[in-house]
Each structure stands twice: as structure tokens, then as C-alpha cells.
Amino acid sequence: MRKLCGYDLNGWRDRAARNWVILPDGEEQETASAIVEGGVFGVVVQTGAKSDGGLVGGAQAAISPHGLGTGWGEIGGSDKRIRVTELLTDNPSVGYLTAAFKGMSSLAGFGVASLDDHAETGELLQEHLLTALRKSKISTPLLVWRSVLATLSAIEDGSILEGQTVGVISHVADGVTVQRLRIRREKSHGDTVLAPERRSVGRLIESDWGYRGLARRAEQAVLAASSKGRTDHLTWAHANGRLALGIPAEAEVLRQSNGDWEVLRPPASLKFDGLSELPDLSDDVAGCDIVLVETLSENAVSAAFHSAVLKSAGRAVKILAGGAVAEGALFAARRLSRRDPIYFDFLPQISTIVQGRDAVESFDLVDPEETLPAGEVYRSPKPARLAIQAGQDRVSIFLRKENAEFPRKAEVNIGVKVDQTVPVELWVEQSPASGRAQILVHSNKLGHHFHVNWDGATELNQSWDSLLAGFQRPAPTIPGRLVLPCGMDAWNDSPRGEGMLTLLERNVDRDVVDWTSLANRLSARPGGKYAISSDGAIPPEVGATAIAQLDQLVERAVDEVRRGLKGQDVGTQSFRFLTWQFRRCPVEVSGWLMEAWDKEVRGHPIFTHGSHWKLAYQGLGRVASNRNLELQAIHKVLGKTIDTWKWQKETAAMAFLLSRSETAPKLLSRKDVERIAKRVLREFEENLGSTYTKFQYAPMLLVGLLRWRVVEPFALVEGQDPTADKLVKAVEKTIADLRHRDRSRPLTKFGRILEQVLEELRGEGSNPELLLDIYGGADEG
């Protein structure tokens, strides 16, 4: 026999429903359902017994003299008796709760206990109830909300259909709770069952109609019925509970504190004069297909309560039998034993604060749309990503719980200071109605799990929104795109040589074009300006005749390159002439250069010497003029291991693309960024102690990489990004190396630039022309 038990431990009328009875000879016999009464206004008493700490609950405790007053001598001490209602607080004694459960039933394979469905039912109480069930030798315990258990009871008697919305009004200590549940049909072992779905916390509506209010009224009636001047012995009179719940109260003999006896003859029933009406519940149950009402009361009290609910709800309701919750718990235990769906529940939201793409933002750790089967463990589908900053041995975590008034701040101490920013992940694990969520922190780098204790965290006296607002700060700067300007100095003649206008005039009709002179003039930068800008613009002062001559020569250069690709010996100068026109260069040239990269190892008809490949790579970096070309170029460069990159080839090409293009940085993934950063770090490291002649493109590549902030605004910022921290250390190390007395020239060239690179890495760039200044240094070199 698989032993099953459902508990309704509420302190007002405790019951258990189980699937076995104990026969007079001590044998156990299986039955559909057997109710075990735990007592009206249940108590737990402290006895002299050695087992279970001397604690006894249930019906035995209800009839025992322990704690009934000094008239009973030593065993009557007030500390020997406690009400179950006092145990069902936020931090109850597990020992006393265990006695209350065992006083009704124990040793079941599967046990389900009820929980009041409102916000005051704390997670700590849930944990202690589960622990007490386990200590009661319940192998597989589960807590389920009263509203759900009442609905399961109605499902079992056929009152509820698939797809219905069920309103549940539960009679509780301080009034009533109202809940709405949706009924789902779920597959189970080749069949289907109906299961309630809970999407929110039940609403508590306070009223004198609650059990506590009825208890006060019953106490007054008992006091009025007593003929004695002393009243302390009346506190534990059975009539108090029986009157409050509508159970016939018989005459009983009570012992006073002086040892005398009194025969108490209570009134036949409770009077309801002056009892205020229940608040309006019509909106709470509007749209429900059926409304269930569960109460522990009977007879006149039940009838009066039913009448009050009818008037408040403004519609017909179905009153459930008094043991409906205990019976529903037994049905739930049966489903639990079969692994049938019992009900589906939402989880209260838990949020933390993370650095988002554009700003600090709230991050929800629970999917608000998901409901879980009872007993199933939920884990955040996506963890929050935080970081322990370099030099710190702890991380501060800000948390918000859905039902908590204020957020809290927790600190996780990892025990050792880290030398760089360490990423950590935060997520929650929780089961419905199973106590506090486990808030977990994990770091792959440290290899440890840490627990965050909500109860041990510091409560902050401000709202979540105001806390978030306090974290907002300006987004880090994004280095400006490099645009190499054009000017007339390169077009006009000067003492240093002929300008582009003269060279175009002389070469446009020549049989053999002087591509070298033309390419040299295009690559020259008199006055800091090229003949054609890096965006492919020509100075407006250049006339139409010169532009037409340039276009003719471009066509001839393209023809010559085509011949060279077919095997003719044409040299590389026509290629140079084309690539120094930057984005004005014909698109097909980009394709030729891309194809050339693929032939670097097995040989190319034009790029026949090692020195030619600088032109092949840098040329494509200059002329790539659309997103598709940039994407292909980036993928080809990143297709090589960074160890094989050459500073004048792959590094230069990538630096040109990222620093000059509006679109190229947007084509990078985070993985791409990490790889490029590794190459930057390598080049910085390799130049330490050198003359820095191979350092021309490393700073440009670094600052070009920072332009990825157009995709992730808070990326690569010192203190927030581990990669940025590494880059800062590399730059600082280089600056220190440049200050060596043997490196005064490279210090003059790169010192100030690198200081400004540090500003950009800190998100506080002050030089909008930083890339232009870096380019100027590289050009000078």
C-alpha cells in the first residue's frame, strides 16, 4: 500500500485526510479517504515524555491538561501549551510544527499540506513547514495553496470543467482571500487530467468575518456565560473554538487557578449582531465561470458566512464541504504519487541590476509568462551577467523581490582580491510554494558557487526605480571616425614637384602612363591633405576637365590591371594609382584584391614579391566601399590565426577598415572583438623595448576597435569589461617603456596619443580627432 496523506494545518480546525485506517488490532487497511481530526483551535503541548522532545499535538494535545493554568499544578504552566495559529508565523518552531503534523498522521510516502493563498504567507514559513513534514517521516512532502486544494476537491467531484475560470473565496484568520484559477487539461500517462493554473497571489480582504474576529466574539460569549469572577481558566475552554466555528458547544467542566471547578454552560450558538458586512467582492469574481467558497465553519456560522459572501459577491457561489481542503490535499498527494500534474504556478519576480547595452537596467531573473508544475525546480533561463572589479574581493548585488516593499543590497565576498575584472553570473532556482528562492552566483574563472542571502542583505530605504536612477551615467565616448581630408595643395604644382593637375594633363594621352608619379602624388599628403579624401571626395575647386582626365586614366589603369591578372608583366604601380583614390576606386578593384589574398601562398601574377603584399592588404583597407566588401575582408583576416598576422598587412588592413568605415565596426561580434584585442595586446607586448618602428598600426587598430561601442555602448570600458582592463594595462606598460631615456623619439611620437587612448578606454575621450592624430604619426613614420 502506498500511504498518502493530505494535511490542512490551519490552527482553527486542523484535519488530515489519508488513505488508510488503523484497525482495532493495529493492522492498517487501505481506504479511499479517512479524516483525522487534529482539534478545534489546535494546540501543541509540552509533556514530560522523552520522545519528540516531549511535544504532542493533534487531538491528544487538545484534551490534555498541560498548560491549562496553575490550577493543574506543575503541568498547568502557561509555557506548556501553544496555539497552532501562533506557530503559523514567519519563523515558527520546526519542532512544534512537527508535533502538530504527527498529532494527526505521520509515516506517509507522499504528503501534501495547505498554505493560505495571500502575500502574508512567508517563504520562511514554507521552508519550516516542509522541514516539519520531513521530520514527520513524510518521504515526499509538498505544499499547495488552499485555493488550489479547494479547486482540486471540486474537480474530483465533477463540479469543474476544462477551460473554466474558477473563483475561490477562502475563509481565513483575518477575513477572506480571493483567487482566480484557470483550469487546464494536461496529458498524463496516456490519459488527461484537469489541473488548476495560478497566475498571481491571492488577495487578502480583511474583515471581522475572519476566524480571528469570530474567535473574539466567541470569547465574549463564553465570558458572559461564566458565573465566576476569575476568567483566566476560560481562555482554553473548548467552547471558544466550537462557538466560533458553529460546532455545538456542550457544557464542560473547567478548573480554576485556585483548584476550584466550574461547569461552563455556553450559549447554543454565536450571535452576529453588529458584525460588519464583507467588503464588495464582485469585481474580484467577475468573469468567473464558477465561484467556490471554502470554510471550516458549520451550521449557523457557515450559513451566516455563506449569506455574507452571497451578498458581497453579488452572484451564486458553491459552498464546499468543511473538509474540502484536507480532501483536496489527499487528492494532490495521490497525483504526486502517480506523477500526475497537480497544479501550475507562477513564481514571484526577482530582479537585479546589470549594465545593459545603453545604460544600467533592471534584469528579471524569472520569466513572467512561465508557470511551473508543482514540485518542479525553476532555473533562470538566462543569467544576469555582473563583474568583480580588479582589486576587489567582493561584488555588490542589488535585488528586488516582487512582494517586498524595498530592494536590498547583498555583498558576496570571494575571499581573495582579483587582479583583473572577473565576470560572474547570477541566477535563481526555486520551486512553487517551497520557500525562499536560491539566489546563486557563479564564476567560471574562479570556479566557485556562492549563495546570496536575501534575509541577510541590507534593506535599502528607497524604491527600485530611484535606485536605478542613481546608477545612470553618461554613455562612454565613441572615437570619431577617421576621415582623411583632401585639399588643393596636392593638385597644384609646388617647389617640391608637379601637382595632380599637371600630371593628369601630361599622362592622359600618353601611350605609356607614368603610373608611379601619379601614384606618388595621390599618396602624398602636402599640408596634411590628400588629393582625394578617404571617403573618395575631390576638392570642389578641381574643374570638370581634370576630373574627366582622372576618370580616363582610371579606366586605363583598370585595363592594365586586367592584363596583368592575365599574365602580362605590368607591375604594381597602376594598382597603387587606383588604391590611393580610396573609396573613389572602382568596386571591381576590391574584388581583385580580395582574390589576391587567397593566392598569397601559391602565387599571384601581379604581386610577385614579398613587398607587394603590403599594397594588397593596405590597398583593400583603403578602397573597400560597401558593407559586403568590408564583411568579406574582416572574415578573411579573422580566418587567420592572430599569430600569423603581419603588422603591415593584416593589422594595417583591419585598422583601416575599423577606423575609417561607418559600417565595419558594426559587423563585429563580441568574439571578433576579443580576437582583435588579443592581436592588439600581442603587438603592444612585442614592441616593448624596441625602437617602435613596427608600432604604426597597433594604436590605430585599438582605437578603431573601440568604435564597436556603436554596437555595444558600454563595451570595452575599464572597470566594466575584462578585455578593456587588459588593454589599459598594455597601454600603461607601453607608456612606461617609452619613458626610457633611449626612446625619447617614439615617446614624442606616441606618448600623448597613448595618454588619450587611455582616456578612450575609460570612456572619457577628450580628442575627437584622435584617430587622425594617430594616422599622422603613422604617416610620418
- Across 24-36, average pLDDT: 94
Q: From the CB of residue 318, how many other CB atoms can be counted at a distance below 10 Å? A: 14
Question: Rounded CA gap, 412 and 453, in Å?
Answer: 9
Whole-number Å distance between alpha carbons of 400 and 655: 44
Beta bridge partners of 437: none
First to last CA, the chain: 90
b vs e for 209-243, b when ≥16 Cβ sit within 10 Å of the residue's Cβ?
bbbbbbbebbbebbeebbeeeeeebbebbbbbbbb
List pLDDT tens digits, range 254-272.
999 888 999 999 999 999 9
User: What tens digit of pLDDT does each residue of 739-764 get?
Assistant: 987 888 888 889 999 999 999 999 99
For the segment 237-262, the average pLDDT, to the nearest whole number, is 94
Cell numbers representing residue 647 in the block: 603588422
Least confident of 20-24, 599-603, 654-658, 660-664: 599-603
Dihedral over Cα of 648, 651, 654, 658: its sign: negative
CA atoms within 13 A on the CB side of 665: 26
Is the pLDDT confidence value at 369 over 90?
no
Residue 780 has pLDDT above 70, yes or no: no
Section 621-642 average pLDDT: 95
- Summary mean pLDDT of the chain: 93
CB 682 within 8 A of CB 642: yes
- At which residue does the C-alpha cell 565576470 appear? 423
Residue 451 pairs in a beta bridge with: 440
The count of C-alpha atoms lying within 13 angstroms of the C-alpha of 375, restricted to the half-sphere facing its C-beta, is: 17
> Which range is least confidently modeled, 23-37, 118-132, 182-196, 448-462?
448-462
Joined grid coordinates for residue 605: 601574377
**What value does the mean pLDDT take over residues 603-624?**
94
| Pairwise CA distance, residues 140 & 543, whole Å | 90
Q: Cα angle at 323 between 318 and 329, to 5 degrees?
A: 100
Q: How confident is the model at residue 601 (pLDDT cuts 50, 70, 90)?
A: confident
With a cut of 50, say whether residue 765 has pLDDT above it: yes
**Strand residue runs (E) in 419-536:** 422-430, 438-443, 448-452, 458-459
Q: What is the pLDDT of residue 781?
A: 39
Nearest to 471 by CA among 539, 564, 396, 406: 396
Residue with cell 625602437: 691
Residues 17 and 37: beta-carbon distance below 8 Å: no
What stretches of 439-586 show up as alpha helix (H) in DSSP? 464-471, 500-507, 515-523, 544-565, 573-579
d(CA 543, CA 538): 10
Q: Is the pLDDT of residue 94 over 80?
A: yes
**Averaged over 479-490, what is the pLDDT?**
95
Residue 228 confidence (pLDDT)? 82
Task: Spell out a b/e string for 632-662, using b for 16 or more CB atoms within 10 Å of the CB, else e.
Answer: bbbebbbeeebeebebbbbbbbbbbbbbbbe
Show the cell assigned to 693: 618602428
Q: Of 358, 344, 478, 348, nearest to 401 (Cα)?
A: 348
In the predicted structure, residue 165 carries a pLDDT above the cut 90: yes
What are phi and psi for residue 616, nearest 5 degrees? -60, -40
Split at pLDDT 50, 70, 90, the class of 566 is very high
- Whether residue 730 has pLDDT greater than 60: yes
Tell me the pLDDT tens digit for each residue of 288-315. 999 999 999 999 999 999 999 999 999 9
pLDDT of the residue at 403: 81
pLDDT band at 358, cuts 50/70/90? low
Contact predicate 226/201, CB 8 Å = no
Q: For the chain, give the percent of residues with pLDDT over 90.
A: 80
Residue type, 601: V
Q: Which pLDDT belongs to residue 777? A: 66
The more confidently predicted of residues 189 and 365 is: 365
Checking if the pLDDT of 391 tops 90, the result is no
Q: Measured between alpha carbons, how far is 200 from 681 in angstroms, rounded to an integer?
A: 52
pLDDT, greater one: 416 or 460? 460
High-pLDDT (> 70) share of the chain, %: 99
Q: How confident is the model at residue 779 (pLDDT cuts 50, 70, 90)?
A: low
User: How far apart are alpha carbons 103 and 101 in whole angstroms?
Assistant: 5
Element (H, E) at 144: strand 140-145
